[in-house]
Amino acid sequence: MVRIKTNQKVTKKDAESPPAGFASRLFAQRAKVLVVLTVVMLLGWGMRGLWEHFAPQIIQREEYLLADERITISELPEWIVGDVRGQAVRNAGLAGRLSILDDAFAQVIEDAFLLHPWVESVDRITKRHPAGVHVEITYRQPVAVVELVDQNVVHLVPIDRHGVHLPSLEVPNIRKRYLPRIGGIVERPPVGQPWTDPRVRGAAEIAVQLSEVWDTFHLVDILPSARPEIYGQSRYFVYDLITRGGTRVVWGAAPNAAPAEEDQFSAKLARLHRCAAQFGPLDSENGPAVVDIRTQELAITPRTVKKPEADFENDVPVVKRAQRTLPPNTSKQ
């Protein structure tokens, strides 16, 4: 038997061409996938339609409605004496109205508590079943009071670190009297709203920074300048600190508004410590009148000695001169 050998050249195109029937099988598989996806989509639409039809009845079942006693929040700090939870629930009408199945449930809860003046932020919302919710909250803390005068009556209005007006009646008077006092302010925003006057927020920042040494230096007041200082491209207010003994400490700008040329908080604080070491506690009349701690070298202005009254001897006035006591740790050159 003679076998005939043929030299047929196989082209690259022929080698790469799929076997017969491959295209039809691929098309059949794709068709099956499309059918499955179509069925799933139809089922999804069907289920969605069923849910939209029955959802109002299910959502409003008593087991899903939020009851007053099932709403809990983070423990109140010692400086808050009001009923934050009860006030937020009543003002927003949450109890018996909101369902935990509602798509907007978390947003409604967050908004209800963020509207309360004692709430700084809502950090976490946890649903519970039976219908309940726990809200984790960061509360505002009074760091200073704004001293306002209305018809010769002094009002101490508490603020937080952002300059937000806190409920004054819910802060005990004894606490307000020991907080830093911010003077020179005339307007007042509604409760829960921040002061638009930038001097209030700047004073609050200073009060927060000095909170640990406020009593150490016998500080009482924070007095912002009436007009801003302009230095190059910087525009800022200057703040004075008043001690219990009447010493005025020129502190300078607030932390977030200080020009680049002004020293940092740590340098200013070190100079204040040096001043107290040299002149003694700043709670007496023996301290300096003014201490400017903005520069590297302390600028001290001594108190002016009151002019003594004249005494008369044989109709001739005799002046009794006051003896000035040298400050502690200071010697004559």
Q: What value does the mean pLDDT take over residues 209-223?
A: 95
Same domain, 290 and 195: yes
Choose the weakest-confidence range: 58-62, 195-199, 203-207, 239-243.
Answer: 58-62
Same domain, 292 and 152: yes
Average pLDDT, the chain: 80
Cα separation, 214 vs 243, whole angstroms: 10
Residue with the bigger pLDDT between 256 and 201: it is 201
Residue with the bigger pLDDT between 53 and 226: it is 226
Same domain, 198 and 83: no
Q: Which of 112, 139, 166 is the last residue of a domain?
A: 139
Question: Per the structure, how many domains does the chain have?
Answer: 2
Is 106 part of a structural domain of the chain?
yes
Same domain, 200 and 297: yes
Is 171 part of a structural domain of the chain?
yes
Query: pTM of the entire structure?
Result: 0.72
Angle separating helix axes 84-92 and 105-114, nearest 10 degrees: 120
What tens digit of pLDDT does each residue of 304-332 get?
765 555 554 554 444 444 433 334 444 43
| Token output for 69 | 């006693």
Cα separation, 100 vs 61, whole angstroms: 10
What tens digit of pLDDT does each residue of 89-120 get?
999 888 777 887 888 889 999 999 999 999 99
> Range of 238's domain?
144-301
Cβ pair 196, 189 in contact under 8 A: yes
